[in-house]
Amino acid sequence: MSNIVLTEDGTATLYSKEFNESYHSIKDGALRESLEKHIIPAFKFSPLKDKYIILDICFGLGYNTLATLLYIKQNGIDSKIEIISPEINIELIYSLKDFNYPKEFREFRDIIKALSSNLYYRDEQFKIEIFNSDAREIIKNIDSRVDILYQDPFSPKKNPLLWTRDYFLDIREIANRDIIITTYSVATPIRLSMYESGFNIYKYQGSGVRGSTIASLRDLNLERVDIEHKIAVNREAKSLRDSDFI
């Protein structure tokens, strides 16, 4: 069960009673958070490509996926976009055709209806597929190299198995060399989980939102997080492991 919540940018999100968390930051705003913490930095630091494979963890209300379409349209990007997104709450997906999305998404009404009914949409430029399955299982079966990953599940306290070193090692197996991973989390254990999986960790500051994290396998023109220093000054700091929760 979920309750509708109005966020600071005037857009609506839901509060999950199951996870005892909202789907988006109330303070940062649902649409603004998607754009400033995920979509804008992802495309800013990704090389221009004819086609992008995007993994959206997890679909939820679909803000990251729909904001991607919005950004592509507004910036006249001609690239093919394929979005893969797991979501275990199938009833939520079925309800999205009636959700009160922001006006910016009005042009995507037909896409929202198709995804809500069929978990699938495709046209000449976009292909979107939602899988009603656990994200960890989906990742193991992806046969394409991922260019962009929106790391946006519920928090590590509520959904820890989507934040462990083991999880990010699985991500690395399907990652393109120039992958960009975006996430709202700035917690040291999460950054350690990504770092120990071979990713470079960077600080990022979007407009009008709190700071976030970007991870990549390559060097970026961003302030790097000094993980070794963090470990040196805090010997208690450690990454999350599957074995901590299973």
What are 67-123's pLDDT values in tens digits? 999 999 999 999 999 999 999 999 999 999 999 999 999 999 999 999 999 999 999
Whether 94 and 132 have beta carbons less than 8 Å apart is answered as no
pLDDT digits (tens, 9 = 90+) for 118-151: 999 999 999 999 999 999 999 999 999 999 999 9
Residue 230 — very low, low, confident or very high, per pLDDT cuts 50/70/90? confident
Pairing label, strands 51-57, 146-151: parallel
* pTM of the full structure: 0.97
- Provide the 10 A C-beta neighbour count for residue 237: 14
| 207/212 Cα distance (integer angstroms) | 11
Which pLDDT value is given to residue 231?
87
- Rounded to 5 degrees, φ, ψ at 175 are -85, 135
Residue 1 — very low, low, confident or very high, per pLDDT cuts 50/70/90? low
- Provide the 10 A C-beta neighbour count for residue 173: 13
Cα R_g (the chain), whole angstroms: 17
HSE, CB side, 13 Å, CA atoms: give it for residue 204.
30
Assigned token pair, 53: 């494979």
